[in-house]
Chain A
Amino acid sequence: MPLDAYTDLADDALLAQYSKGDAAVARALTARLMPRVFGHAVRVLGDRSEAEDVAQDAMMRLWKVAPDWRMGEAKVSTWLYRVTANLCTDRLRRKRGVGLDEVDEPHDPSPSVTDQLQTRERMDALQAGLQTLPERQRQAVILRHIEGLANPEIAEILEISTEAVESLTARGKRALAQGLAPAREKLGYEDDSI
């Protein structure tokens, strides 16, 4: 069955089918959830290899919990984001003390023309800016402004109040803007209306 045949099914319905042994659903669920999990991990950790470890671990936990998943009780993506966020926190705690210069930055697998180079430069600058934020602020800013999640869902993921999420994202965004301000011209935002 093609992967887009499952677009109408909710994540928990797919998970139930996965538990019944449908191999095609395993692929569909991976294609649907993996980019979000990996994207979050790579932005929080700033390292593709470590992000792969975290994302693989988070997905493995999902496969293991699938047979016991209770339909309609929790949102699969929220649960998965929470597992990913906690795994990232654990990694960062273990890595504490490692300087920013030693943290790898994500790279574009297919860099070519000038525009792509500028895009890459912007993404690298954003990534570097994110790395300067405290870990909880970073997670909140990524979930809110890049993953596009609503504050109540972020609160559930980070296991804090909605007010705390608002505070974290506001402070994080302000700190990021200040940190990136000197590079605004270099990054092409002076004459580039995106």
Chain B
Amino acid sequence: MTVSDKDTFDPDMNALDALFAQATNDVGAQPSEAFMTRVVTDALAQQPMPQIAPPSWWAQITSMVGGWQGMGGLVAATCAGFWIGINPPEGLPTQFETFLGSETSISLLEDGIEDTGMFGFGWDMEEG
């Protein structure tokens, strides 16, 4: 006869098994609410602070220019500048001129003042 067989037919063992089964759900061995609260208080006091992840490089850049609104303005200004660069309105120097620079000279002598007969009103000729 094995130990388990002996247990099955032993009234003392059966009574003990019944006792164990009752003990498993015994409210007398349950912690009180006040004690549970005390342990939770310990747990919260010992708990590490929540870890906050550092912002990504992109978030850092957008925050530097004033967030998404600032970023939108920057993109709009960049697009406008680019468009003006490749297709400048009349009156603005072309890209090429801006890059190399250009000389502008105005010659009063050659560009018609003499032709109009206004040069010294002919006084130099009279004095010889």
**Contact residues of B between 1 and 28, Cβ < 8 Å to A:** 3, 10-24, 26-28
Q: Size range of the interface on B?
A: 35 or more
Q: Indicate if the CB atoms of B46 and A63 lie closer than 8 Å.
A: yes
**Contact residues of B between 23 and 55, Cβ < 8 Å to A:** 23-24, 26-32, 35-36, 38-40, 42-44, 46-51
Nearest Cβ on chain B to A114's Cβ, whole angstroms: 15
Highest count of chain A CB atoms <10 Å: which of B10, B26, B30? B26
Q: Majority SS of interface residues in chain B?
A: helix
Q: Indicate if the CB atoms of A126 and B19 lie closer than 8 Å.
A: yes
Nearest Cβ on chain B to A164's Cβ, whole angstroms: 16
Highest count of chain A CB atoms <10 Å: which of B12, B29, B46? B29
B residues within 8 A CB of A21?
Answer: 47-51
How far apart are the CA atoms of A56 and B41 in the complex, in Å?
A: 11
A residues within 8 A CB of B13?
Answer: 173, 177
Q: Indicate if the CB atoms of B28 and A123 lie closer than 8 Å.
A: yes
Known contacts A21-B49, A148-B24; is-contact A184 B12 (Cβ 8 Å): yes
| Count of chain A residues near B, Cβ 8 A | 52
A residues within 8 A CB of B18?
Answer: 189, 194
Q: Indicate if the CB atoms of B43 and A189 lie closer than 8 Å.
A: no
Q: Indicate if the CB atoms of B28 and A106 lie closer than 8 Å.
A: yes
| A90 touches B (CB below 8 Å) | no
A residues within 8 A CB of B51?
Answer: 20-21
Q: Indicate if the CB atoms of B23 and A38 lie closer than 8 Å.
A: no
B residues within 8 A CB of A119?
Answer: 22, 26
How far apart are the CA atoms of A123 and B29 in the complex, in Å?
A: 10
Q: Indicate if the CB atoms of B23 and A126 lie closer than 8 Å.
A: yes
How far apart are the CA atoms of A109 and B42 in the complex, in Å?
A: 24
B residues within 8 A CB of A120?
Answer: 28
Q: Pick from A20, A109, A147, A194: contact of B28, CB below 8 A.
A: A109
A residues within 8 A CB of B32?
Answer: 109
Look across to chain B and name the residue whose beta carbon is closest to the beta carbon of A184: B15
Q: Pick from A20, A35, A60, A148: contact of B30, CB below 8 A.
A: A35
A residues within 8 A CB of B38?
Answer: 56
Q: Indicate if the CB atoms of A42 and B22 lie closer than 8 Å.
A: no
Known contacts A19-B48, A31-B36, A107-B28; is-contact A122 B43 (Cβ 8 Å): no
How far apart are the CA atoms of A35 and B86 in the complex, in Å?
A: 77
B residues within 8 A CB of A35?
Answer: 30-31
B residues within 8 A CB of A59?
Answer: 39, 42-43
Nearest Cβ on chain A to B87's Cβ, whole angstroms: 55
Nearest Cβ on chain A to B21's Cβ, whole angstroms: 7
Which residues of chain A have a CB within 8 Å of any CB of chain B? 18-23, 26-27, 29-31, 34-35, 38-39, 42-43, 52, 55-56, 59-60, 63-64, 66-67, 106-110, 119-120, 122-123, 125-126, 145-148, 170, 173, 176-178, 180-181, 184, 187, 189, 194
List 5 extra interface pairs beyond A125-B19, A146-B20, CB under 8 A: A20-B51, A63-B47, A66-B46, A119-B26, A180-B16
